[in-house]
Structure 1
């Protein structure tokens, strides 16, 4: 049976690369994102890969709790199971803390930390019934090491790490795995060209990862 894989933020960036990797293995990939145009384009790319899965897209903002609960309930009703949840949706707005408003802090926390907590809570109900499942949260190296001008972003990703570790212990006995991936700086839509070039000066080899590549099978 093909796995049912939900990817929040799967229309582009790291989430897009993960969606393609699942699609190549024949899984059913459901992309959840805010922009319907990007969703349609991303789903078509998955279909063009020819992996044989049943791919679709759903407009959903991970920061909207009611929308998340409704959309995931509809997906579960359609497929009857949820095997993998990837929380890759997120946002970043660099700025020194003294120049960051409370509204900006709360928006970022809602998107990067509270949203994944809500989506995880919803899918766990089905995964516990199945006695299996996997939740993958996309963190950041900034959540471990910190970075100037990214206090809110770093706090959200550090919080996501703590959430992942705690939840993994809560549900391990139910056959559910919870993991966090903490990438370094990767060229995506979120990382602008100028910022990318600036980062290269701090690396001895003068280069960064240019694109996302997956090799071998995914055992999430």
Structure 2
């Protein structure tokens, strides 16, 4: 049986498997109907098709991410409780160590937003933007995080869309930050555009926290970053 990496954990799986079987093999209590499985590779990820069996090779890496749709809701830039700020701070620190080594990561004092200065663009985006391999990427944390996930993400407004991409806007929609005049001005001054990525209701499953460190047992910022790469690589159809 090949040994693969699923969400950072080494797991033995059959030599062929469906994405639903990989979800079960991960050991986390996910509803496979609200999950997508992504085969990860630097610069280009591949989404497995539901119900389709694929050959699994030793050493391959997979991420299980929440499914996405086109609507969601939350509030922003309010007064976050201290424990929420601590969860955000820990998650940003852990993700920065893994995905953004030797890169500047800026988290504001109130944990409303984080900017990762060297976000690796997928291949299609690099071809549409010659010379741009890494770009800044911003996430806005809702006041209810981690109970509610982030809603979309923000990339430099100067980026050109590849042929397969849409849903890149000067403002937010569907409950995302960037809908009010004040929020749109924040985006304009920062020269950001919003990329639409709503997580399907019921697909976000954060851990129940008895201690702050328990966040690792449920959906968290790792899943969001993976989803950002996935939605850029495999955009939703209009």
Superposition TM-score, scaled by structure 1 size: 0.30
User: Whose helix fraction is larger, Structure 1's or Structure 2's?
Assistant: 1
User: Whose strand fraction is larger, Structure 1's or Structure 2's?
Assistant: 2
Superposition TM-score, scaled by structure 2 size: 0.29
